[in-house]
A and B are shown apart, each in its own frame.
Chain A
Amino acid sequence: MRGTRALFPLLILFLAMGLILSACGSKTAAPNEGGSPSAGQTDANGTTSDQGTAKKKYIVGSDAAYAPFESVAPNGEIVGLDIDFVKKLAEVGGFEVEVKNIAWDPLFEAVKNGEVDFAASAITITDERKQTYDFTDPYFVANQLILVPEGSDVTKFEDLKTKRVAVQNSTTGHEAVKKLLGATSPQIKPFESTPLAIQDMLINGSDAVVADNAVVMEFVKQNPDKKLKIIEDPTFEKEYYGLLVKKGNQELLDTLNAAIKKLKENGGLKEIFGQDLK
């Protein structure tokens, strides 16, 4: 009697374990990522071995919520300056690319674990990130801008010391503000995206936003009625965007750098971003 009684729940437990595991196994092939058929063969090093003489295909991760660098067009297509850039790279480099939309924080993890071969998402090259990832040569110069409402008394970065500052979480703007206000200052309000940070300022939840020039300028252009002021501060260091590659994937790094070099030489880079980078 005792024996069977103890066995019964145990049995269900094992049965269910089996069920869960088998379901887990089958679910990995589920609809998921909107289908990247040839990505199936991508190995840990990010080298895709397609059949025959077909071009190599790389899966590119991008957080497409960052106009004008990467955003989603109404038809669902991922578009933007970075996307134009990788497509041009593929053209001159003789490979194919497929862009996958991945949110900012998981994007870094996706590069690390090989879910994507590299990331193109307005990513600033920093020493801290270089410890965990490899970067290609820079392809864009960015600088941080301060965005404030028209009537604000802020004129330079130092003035933010007494203000509430909204930023996009774990961006370089966030880093800069952390240096000024202290890493754990309650005056810093990190948001999931730059547009959200700006929205927070518009509803008076914060006094200023520190973010990348291109996005700030795009927002002001799109919202002329919002009465905003852009402040440039020369103390912000210049930043360079690079493509993010898994640490140690030298082959891919060489391929991308060679293509970037070609684009710099033939003026393709200037055509896309409107700036020269030597």
Chain B
Amino acid sequence: MDFRWDIVWAYRALFLNGIWLTILLTVVGVAFGLILGLLFGLGKISKYKLLSMPSILYITFFRGTPLYVQILLIHFAVIPSIFGESKGPVFSGMVALSLNSGAYIAEIFRAGIQSIGKGQMEAARSLGLTHGQAMAHIILPQAFKRMIPPLGNEFIALLKDSSLLAAISAPELANASRIIQGSTLRPWEAYFPAAVLYLILTLILSRIVHGLERRFSNEGRTS
């Protein structure tokens, strides 16, 4: 197997641009995923059908269908029918990743909240806090600590899943490989660097998550 580093080097700009967009897509997906996840996670455990039903539907759909299919649907059907035109693959990609991660994060929130003993809520309420106050000040902070490891998993999965956006030609890392493979007709030089780059990105991300985990657990111990 002759591996030509000169090809990889020659196409470095394409890889670099791909990395930046991959990071941007992941950050956006995580940010909106967290917002959606909190909303729909709370929605799902709500006693009110009006809130819980839409949440359950949303979570079921986005967890129960492949992201690849969601991306194609959102890019080719949903966005054009809402805006009347395509907003570009990057926009569709951000929407798809956010909605998808939102559904998974909602389940992480739900599980985190439900893992906090009932007594915590009862105690908070008996101190005169409203349900919302108790949730915001007592339950969520405790739940969040437990949610960090699964959230970390979700972020890493999201980073790798952003590669599926190559299907709608969002110029991220996997798409860079696709273009290089099609232009040089060589698969190794196109996909091997991408694998290494994804690995580096996920390693960095897992270090960050690990750091967060440690910080929050120390805080819990000292106070």
Q: Say if the beta carbon of B131 comes within 8 Å of chain A.
A: yes
Q: Which of B14, B38, B42, B87 contacts A76 (CB 8 A)?
A: B14
Q: Say if the beta carbon of A64 comes within 8 Å of chain B.
A: yes
Closest Cβ neighbor of B94 among chain A residues = A27
Q: Say if the beta carbon of A219 comes within 8 Å of chain B.
A: yes
| Chain-A contact segment, one of B105-113, B144-152, B181-189, B211-219 | B181-189
Give CA–CA (A24, B31) in the complex, Å: 13
Determine whether the beta carbon of A103 is less than 8 Å from that of B166.
yes
| Chain A neighbourhood of B43, CB < 8 A | 9, 13
Q: Say if the beta carbon of A72 comes within 8 Å of chain B.
A: yes
B90-130, CB < 8 A from A: 90-91, 94-95, 130
| Chain A neighbourhood of B171, CB < 8 A | 34, 101
Determine whether the beta carbon of B185 is less than 8 Å from that of A115.
no
Q: Say if the beta carbon of B199 comes within 8 Å of chain A.
A: no
**Interface 1/0s, chain A 5-29, versus B by CB < 8 A?**
1101110110010011001100110
Q: Shortest beta-carbon distance, A145 to chain B, in Å? A: 15
Q: Say if the beta carbon of B60 comes within 8 Å of chain A.
A: no
Q: Say if the beta carbon of A65 comes within 8 Å of chain B.
A: yes
Q: Say if the beta carbon of B10 comes within 8 Å of chain A.
A: yes
Determine whether the beta carbon of B130 is less than 8 Å from that of A5.
yes
Q: Say if the beta carbon of B141 comes within 8 Å of chain A.
A: no
Determine whether the beta carbon of B166 is less than 8 Å from that of A5.
no
Determine whether the beta carbon of A223 is less than 8 Å from that of B185.
yes
Give CA–CA (A30, B168) in the complex, Å: 17
Give CA–CA (A13, B51) in the complex, Å: 9
| Chain-B contact segment, one of A83-91, A156-164, A190-198 | A190-198
Determine whether the beta carbon of B87 is less than 8 Å from that of A28.
yes
| Chain A neighbourhood of B179, CB < 8 A | 64-65, 71-72, 101
Q: Say if the beta carbon of A33 comes within 8 Å of chain B.
A: yes
Give CA–CA (A209, B39) in the complex, Å: 50
Determine whether the beta carbon of B13 is less than 8 Å from that of A193.
no
| Chain B neighbourhood of A65, CB < 8 A | 178-179, 181-183
Determine whether the beta carbon of A102 is less than 8 Å from that of B169.
yes
B24, B88, B94, B166, most chain A CB atoms within 10 A: B88
Q: How many residues of B contact A (CB 8 A)?
A: 47
Determine whether the beta carbon of A115 is less than 8 Å from that of B11.
no
**Interface 1/0s, chain A 29-42, versus B by CB < 8 A?**
01111100000000
Determine whether the beta carbon of A74 is less than 8 Å from that of B10.
yes
Determine whether the beta carbon of B35 is less than 8 Å from that of A193.
no
Determine whether the beta carbon of A101 is less than 8 Å from that of B183.
no
| Chain B neighbourhood of A31, CB < 8 A | 24, 90
| Chain B neighbourhood of A67, CB < 8 A | 182-185
Give CA–CA (A94, B157) in the complex, Å: 49
| Chain B neighbourhood of A27, CB < 8 A | 28, 91, 94
**Interface 1/0s, chain B 10-41, versus A by CB < 8 A?**
11011000000000100010001001101100
Q: Say if the beta carbon of A4 comes within 8 Å of chain B.
A: yes
Q: Shortest beta-carbon distance, A93 to chain B, in Å? A: 26
**Interface 1/0s, chain A 182-208, versus B by CB < 8 A?**
000000000011111011000000000
- The 4 A-B residue pairs whose C-beta atoms are closest, nearest first, are A65-B182, A74-B10, A103-B169, A71-B183
List chain A positions with a Cβ less than 8 A from chain B: 1, 4-6, 8-10, 12-13, 16, 19-20, 23-24, 27-28, 30-34, 44, 63-67, 71-76, 101-103, 105-107, 109-110, 113-115, 192-196, 198-199, 218-219, 222-223
